[in-house]
Structure 1
Amino acid sequence: MGKNVAITAIGVGKTFPMGKQRVSALREVSLTLPAGTLTALTGPSGSGKSTLLHLIAGLERVDAGTLEVLGHPVHTSTPTELAALRLREIGFVHQDFSLLADLTLLENVRLPLEATGSSRGPASTAAREAMARVGLDGLEDRFPAEVSGGQQQRAAIARAIIGERTLVLADEPTGSLDSKTGAEIMDVLARLRDDGVTVVLSTHNPANLSHADQIAVLHDGTLLSFDTTEGGTP
């Protein structure tokens, strides 16, 4: 994989068991995502958007084809290798924020660094820097229940980028938010892209596509189209 390419999928397929049969979630998906770009995966429910994100993150295993992420062949990597890749290089943002309620925002954000053995002081410093990048200055000591949904999602994004992570995967990151707050979260993700972070997100919302450099349209597990938007990276 070239140094300016973040993700390369060639003929990727994934099936899941359903009773005595197996159902195809993805079939023959091929695409290349340049580093430092924002890609939107769109399509109806059940089209394979979340499955593709989970494959890129190594949360599910590829059944067919090859998939390289940040130079790592995730289609042949061991579970231990995939866990290390997620912990050190990939951040995942969920629709429901997935913050721990009994930890402050700062404590939530610094968790990945503490999991890699970083001491609390350096982890807290890095967490404050990540929170500042997403506009959470001054909210470090608040608990998730004490802030808005948009602020909780910003904290989830800060947790996803802390340390040296350069790839953020976001599964419907604005799906639980009102349109104004959702637009603010998309602005945050776009600024991360402008800073060199590779962002891949799934979305049902057409308004979110305006920030994308590439748009991948999925339907019934197949890639209908993959287009570079005006001004995007070829």
Structure 2
Amino acid sequence: MGKNVAVVAAGVGKKFPMGKQTVPALRDVSLSLPAGTLTALTGPSGSGKSTLLHLIAGLERVDSGTLEVLGNQVHASTPAELAALRLREIGFVHQDFSLLADLTLIENVRLPLEATGTARAAATTAAREAMARVGLEGLEQRFPAEVSGGQQQRAAIARAIVGNRTLVLADEPTGSLDSKTGAEIMAVLGQLRDEGVTVVLSTHNPANLSHADQVAVLHDGTLVSFDTNEGGEA
């Protein structure tokens, strides 16, 4: 993998058990995602978007093919190696934010660094920097229930980039937000891309595709198109 390529999938397949049978979630998917770009995965529900994100994050294991992420052969990595990769370089943003209700926003954001043994003071400094990058200055001591849904999603994005992680994976990051707030979140992800972070997101919303450098369309687990978005907002 070249240093300017973040993700390379070659013939990736994934099946899940369903009763006594196995159901294919992805079939022979091949694509290459340049570093520092924003890629949108789109397609109907059940098309394999979330499965592909989970494979890139190392949260699920590839059944066939090869998958390299940030120079790591995740298809051949151990669970411990994948966990270390996530803590060090990969952030995952969930649609439901997944913030801990009894922690302040800055406590939520600094959690990944504390999990790696970073000292509290250094983790707090890094968390403040990450929150500033997504426009949350002044809200560090608020609890999730005390801020809006858009601000909660910004906090989840800050947690995903804290410590200068270089790959952000976002599963329907605007799915539970109104259109105006969703557009603001897409602008934040676009800004991160402009700063050199590689962003891969799944979305049902056609409006989000205008922010992407490339768009991958999935259907029934198959990659039906993968095109550079000439009209994307660079």
Q: TM-score, normalised by structure 2?
A: 0.98
1:14 equivalent in structure 2:
14
Describe how 1:135-154 pairs up with structure 2 within 5 A: 135-154=135-154
1:25 equivalent in structure 2:
25
How many residues in Structure 1 have an aligned counterpart in Structure 2? 232
Q: Quick one: distance in 2 between partners of 1:78 and 1:121? A: 31
2:121 equivalent in structure 1:
121
Q: Quick one: distance in 1 between partners of 2:231 and 2:70? A: 24
1:220 equivalent in structure 2:
220
SS of residue paired to 2:52: helix
Task: Tell me which amino acid in the other structure corresponds to 1:44.
Answer: P
1:48 equivalent in structure 2:
48
Task: Tell me which amino acid in the other structure corresponds to 2:76.
Answer: T
SS of residue paired to 2:103: coil
1:67 equivalent in structure 2:
67
1:179 equivalent in structure 2:
179
Q: Quick one: distance in 2 between partners of 1:117 and 1:54? A: 25
SS of residue paired to 1:97: coil
Q: Quick one: distance in 1 between partners of 2:101 and 2:168? A: 22
1:99 equivalent in structure 2:
99
| Structure 2, unaligned runs of 5 or more | none
Q: Are 2:94 and 1:85 aligned?
A: no
Deviation at 1:229, TM superposition (A): 0.8
SS of residue paired to 2:67: strand
Identity of aligned residues (%): 87
1:133 equivalent in structure 2:
133
String of CA shifts for 1:24-75, please: whole Å, max 9, x gaps.
0000000000000000000000000000000000000000000000000000
Deviation at 1:231, TM superposition (A): 5.9
Q: Quick one: distance in 1 between partners of 2:15 and 2:152? A: 33
Q: TM-score, normalised by structure 1?
A: 0.98
Task: Tell me which amino acid in the other structure corresponds to 2:37.
Answer: T
Q: Quick one: distance in 2 between partners of 1:223 and 1:204? A: 16
Q: Quick one: distance in 1 between partners of 2:53 and 2:147? A: 28
Deviation at 1:186, TM superposition (A): 0.1
SS of residue paired to 1:75: helix
Deviation at 1:134, TM superposition (A): 0.1
**Alpha carbons 2:210, 2:231 under 8 Å: kept:** no
Deviation at 1:164, TM superposition (A): 2.6
SS of residue paired to 2:141: coil
2:109 equivalent in structure 1:
109
| Structure 1, unaligned runs of 5 or more | none
Task: Tell me which amino acid in the other structure corresponds to 1:219.
Answer: H
